[in-house]
Amino acid sequence: MTAQRTPLILDVDTGIDDALALLYACASPDAELVAVTALAGNATADNTERNTRAVLEAAGRGDIDVAVGRPMPLLRALEITPETHGPRGLGYSDPPEPRRPRSGAYAPQVIVDAARARPGEITLVTLGPLTNLAVAILMEPALPRLLRRWIAMGGAFRVPGNTTPVAEWNIHCDPEAARIALRVWTTAIEADPGVPRALLMGLDVTERAQLMPAHLDALAARAGDAANGPLMTLTRDALRFYFEFHAKYDGFYGAHVHDPLVVAAALDPSLVRAEPAAVDVDASGGPGDGQTIADWRHVGGAIANADVAVEVDAAAFIERLIERVGALAVARALA
């Protein structure tokens, strides 16, 4: 029996964990990768776009066009994080120039066009700042009704931030864009309660997905003779940088693999448990700037616009990541 496939658009700022998310999606028989869009975040837009094409090519999906969006946040100066993801975004990995040329398409337009063409079918998974989504919404305010769902890696709700004491990186980079997206979702749900709430997967759950050296060994074992092939070499070199970063700043030699967890949950919602809340973003520029504010008790009277992930089956996800990416490495070696 053929697994039912979930149509996905992945909006990425490819860094290391975005690269793993792309590999996971390409390795998943239950994923239909409709489009991939890129933007600045972990690295500049030029680098994230190139990284995305390189990872897709390593995964055997060089046929996918990668549309890039704005090279800057909506209103703020660009911030990138070479200390976390390396000088170009893929740690110690430096894959060859992708064969597929850079696309001339504009990422927000790609998102809008795909949603219009397949209303109610596509899940949009945002793994970086929300700039592309905000621009897409400004182009097509009906986007919340046209998508099957929006799922985001972003925010810190009942845990501290990883960029400021209260802010997670993706929201911190463009809080105005995040605020636009969440408020438009609120408006859409108020007008039509049948519009699905966003699923927000913040640090509360994504930091529980820790990939450790033993997991990387298991991935290499699953890959077998393909363990030294291009896909596994890219993965290993990227993760070594990520492991060193976490050892320096977080006290463990391993990595929080935020983004592939979010893709896995988009394909299998049973991996997470979420609670509805009215969520807004502080864009004041003050001490709370970039904070995702969840009204859990609905004391403010606002309608719930999001389901916020509060629990995750991280062990099941890691097992699935090892199996799927390892099998993809084998398949690529045989191609």
CA 4 to the chain's CA centroid: 22
Q: Which of 309, 305, 313, 307 is nearest to 273 (CA)?
A: 309
The residues pairing with 210 across neighbouring beta strands, listed in sequence order, are: 256
Q: What is the C-alpha separation between 71 and 90, in angstroms, rounded?
A: 18
- In the set 172, 215, 258, 298, the catalytic residue is 258
Report whether 267 contacts 142 (CB < 8 A): no
Q: Is 258 a catalytic residue?
A: yes
Backbone angles phi, psi at 4, to 5 degrees: -65, 135
**3-class state of residue 325 by DSSP:** helix
Query: If you write DSSP's letter for every residue of 24-72 in order, what string do you get?
Result: HHHH-TTEEEEEEEE-SSSS-HHHHHHHHHHHHHHTT-TTS-EEE--SS
Catalytic residues: 258
